[in-house]
Amino acid sequence: MTTSTTRVLALLEILQGGGIRTVPDLAALLDVDERTVRRYVGHLLDLGVPVDSVRGRYGGYRLAPGYRMPPLMLTDEEALAVVLGLLAAQRAGLVTASAAAAESAAAKLRRVLPKALARRLEALLDTAGFTARPRPAAAPEAEVLLGLAEATLHQRPVEIAYTDRTGRGSERTVLPYGLVAHSGRWYLTAADPAAADGDTRTFRLDRITAMTVRSGSFAVPAAFDPVADVLEGLARTPWTHEVSLRIRGSAEHVRSRLPPGIATLSAIPATAAVDGTSPPDGGEAPPDGSADPAADPAADPHNGWVRVRMRAERLDWIPPVLAALDCPFVIERPAELRDLVQALARRLAEYGAR
């Protein structure tokens, strides 16, 4: 590579740092005269790199957004950060439908890395272990993801074509409040003006087949939290069983085993917790006629009762979670969960007696 070519690339790297750089500054950094700086800028323009010339006392040159990406100059650490970021996104499932784009981008970078850095990167990839398993990508179309991001930022309504979990398709206009990446999937939380309850809805982006930005605008409610709304929406997803429990313990402790995407929690007022005449939320009384543990007036005031609501396709995983919490609990519904808890208790007692 000739000295002039090296300096043209060095000029590109300087301009990629952002801002306006004066000709005298560039000449000093490149160790050339100002006329040569202008010639190097001409070389970049010939290569299709969008360089703007800014006139005036504080004028100079700056890199403008172009119709295509210019050649990118990265330091060793920047290149390593990009490669590792691409690999992490692939493992997390956070890629678009053109998953090959992430693979090809990583491959291109790895091909042009300096030999020493490439060798060390290969050593890292060959020896590194991951505690989280790779997630299968349920990838949205890139145009859908980016289009919804713009509509969310500028608070513009969008019309979407959506296929729900049963395979039923529909078209609706929604007000996008936020985009959330969770467990290898992208979600949109949005208000649906056509819904009777006026509540927000959660949509999986990989199930949105088309979107169109519509005219108009809207305001997102103050203090709205897209992440919390998506997690609560996932916990409310209809499944075969609706589970309602009361657990004596702190919400923080319960959350350690039942995260927001699985269950919703609500504190039970102390007066309701000590009233043994009627189980809150219309729950069923314990079948053996024993006193409700929530009626214990000696309950630790720092360790109150929490109502837990979940929806689940199967119930067999819940008894081990309740056992791991190691807290008093009352099963409000369904009744078959009690049978599973009692069966687990008998097995544990049998195992412990051996």
pLDDT at 39: 92
The answer to whether the bond into 334 is cis (omega within 30° of 0) is yes
pLDDT at 287: 40
pLDDT at 137: 58
| 34/315 Cα distance (integer angstroms) | 75
CA angle, corner 147, sides to 81 and 151, nearest 5? Answer: 110
Helix or strand (DSSP H, E) at 264: strand 263-267
pLDDT at 303: 61
Contacts of 329 (CB under 8 A, 6+ apart): 245, 246, 247, 248, 293, 322
pLDDT at 274: 47
CA angle, corner 298, sides to 293 and 299, nearest 5? Answer: 60
Copy the structure tokens of residue 2: 């000739």
pLDDT along the chain (354 residues), means of 10: 76 84 92 92 88 84 72 79 83 67 78 83 84 70 89 96 88 94 88 81 91 94 92 78 92 90 84 46 40 40 79 90 94 94 94 89
